[in-house]
Amino acid sequence: MDRADVIIFGGGLVGLALAAALDSSGISTIVVDPADPDQRTDAKFDGRTSAVGSSSTRMLEAIGVAAHFPAPGCPIRKIQVADGLAPGGLAFEPSADDEPLGWMHENRHLRAALRARAEAAPNAWLLWKSSIASVDRGPAGVVVALADGRKLHAPLLAAADGRNSPMREAAGIRAARWRYDHAAIVSTLRHERPHDHVAYEIFYPGGPFALLPMTDDEQGHRSAIVWSVPQDDAPGWLSLSDADFAAEAKAAMGGFLGDIALAAPRSSYPLGFHHAATITAERLALVGDAAHAIHPIAGQGLNLGFRDAAALAQVVVEGARLGLDLGDRQLLDRYQRWRSLDSLMVAMATDGLTRIYGVPGRTASAVRRFGMGVVNRIGPLRDRLMNEARGTSGDLPLLLRGLPI
């Protein structure tokens, strides 16, 4: 029987970040994932991009992931929020000498960096293309039987196995869930004028249009888009020619970046929400999308997962130093208390924004613009919201402060 301190189900972005965080403090892990990682290396598998907040970036630097990026991310130095193309809006912009609000990374580059860090970890064992036959969680620990007959043992199991987490379902953990009547159209645009490191969130009754700065390449300026459209309209948007879609995108942003062309194929993802009633069970901790999934309206989904990883890593490492059983109930209760309120507040805030900005009509739009104007004029309130967006508020785990555990 192969043994480790923690078994991690799921070798995605959050699962690998957790393995790297634990390895940095000498905690051994076995990562189990049925996928072939070599098929996840290009934009055809996942053409999405992610906004990695400044606190998450500190963690990636602290645990040695940032050194493995195959390409640099693009700093976000300003976030501009608008209600359609009407004048007014809300701007978040830190001082010139402060760190950026976040960094835009292509998911494939994040995945490559996390995989390279995990493969170099002396305390991490990656079992790709491995299927799980059974899981037994009991007083003596966790025993995982793989389909190939191998058995694994650890005091703690971390489930980072995605939105439809089999481990969450097997543990009988209920989740509040609903589907939005929207799909996200995702692509990369090439544009005539520079984006100046500004991220735009333009709200329309039909759904928000997010324009996110990316690094320039040899062909010019680039930005990623996440365009929420009614679910029934998504096939129509995907069927448009590249030129017609680019013209629609240019109109949606008011043409302020000049001529537009598509730089990557379009893809579509259904949008949904779920939040687990609890993120722990006997010798089990849920992290990332297994625990919660939110609307991409504020770009916080991956950052929530990284915050889970940072908090769980600190709980486990500090428990190990005290000589505690790593699956002990008091350690899991600490993780539950630390993460449950923060993740719920972010989930409710993003859901509320989605619904508020989806109300049609001139009166609703005028009220929204008035509210944004008030926030813009009240410096402390604007700064508080900006800190929430960059993930630097609240009781931060050490890794999110850039400190080792």
- Write the CB contacts of 12 (distance below 8 Å, at least 6 apart in sequence): 33, 111, 160, 162, 288
pLDDT grade, residue 205 (50/70/90)?
Answer: confident
Instruction: Identify the CATH number of the domain in which residue 93 sits.
Output: 3.50.50.60
Tell me what the mean pLDDT of segment 79-85 comes to: 83
217 located within any domain: no
The yes-or-no verdict on residue 240 having pLDDT over 90 is: yes
Q: Tell me, what's the pLDDT at 341?
A: 80
Mean pLDDT is lowest, of 17-21, 73-77, 151-155, 390-394, for 390-394
pLDDT grade, residue 217 (50/70/90)?
Answer: confident
Q: Tell me, what's the pLDDT at 356?
A: 58
Mean pLDDT is lowest, of 29-33, 73-77, 235-239, 386-390, for 386-390
82 located within any domain: yes
pLDDT tens track for 103-158: 999 999 999 999 999 999 999 999 999 999 999 999 999 999 999 999 999 999 99
Q: Tell me, what's the pLDDT at 193?
A: 95
pLDDT grade, residue 392 (50/70/90)?
Answer: low
Report the share of the chain in percent with pLDDT over 90.
65
262 located within any domain: no
Boundaries of domain holding 350:
2-177+272-398
Tell me what the mean pLDDT of segment 11-32 comes to: 97
405 located within any domain: no
Give the chain's domain count: 1
Which tokens is 245 given?
């879609």
Q: Distance between CA 318 and CA 205 in Å, rounded?
A: 48
Q: Are 21 and 357 in contact (CB under 8 A)?
A: no
The strand ranges marked E within 99-219 are 102-106, 124-128, 132-138, 141-146, 151-154, 156-159, 175-191, 198-204, 207-217
pLDDT tens track for 262-295: 998 999 988 888 899 999 999 999 999 999 988 7
267 located within any domain: no
Distance of alpha carbon 218 from its chain centroid, rounded?
Answer: 28
Q: Tell me, what's the pLDDT at 353?
A: 61
Q: Tell me, what's the pLDDT at 117?
A: 97
77 located within any domain: yes
63 located within any domain: yes
- Write the CB contacts of 28 (distance below 8 Å, at least 6 apart in sequence): 4, 5, 6, 22, 123, 124, 125
Q: Are 201 and 208 in contact (CB under 8 A)?
A: yes
The yes-or-no verdict on residue 203 having pLDDT over 80 is: yes
Q: Are 153 and 142 in contact (CB under 8 A)?
A: yes
The yes-or-no verdict on residue 386 having pLDDT over 90 is: no
In eight-state DSSP terms, residue 42 is S
Tell me what the mean pLDDT of segment 91-97 comes to: 77
124 located within any domain: yes
Question: Higher confidence at residue 189 or residue 179?
Answer: 189
Mean pLDDT is lowest, of 54-58, 108-112, 123-127, 353-357, for 353-357
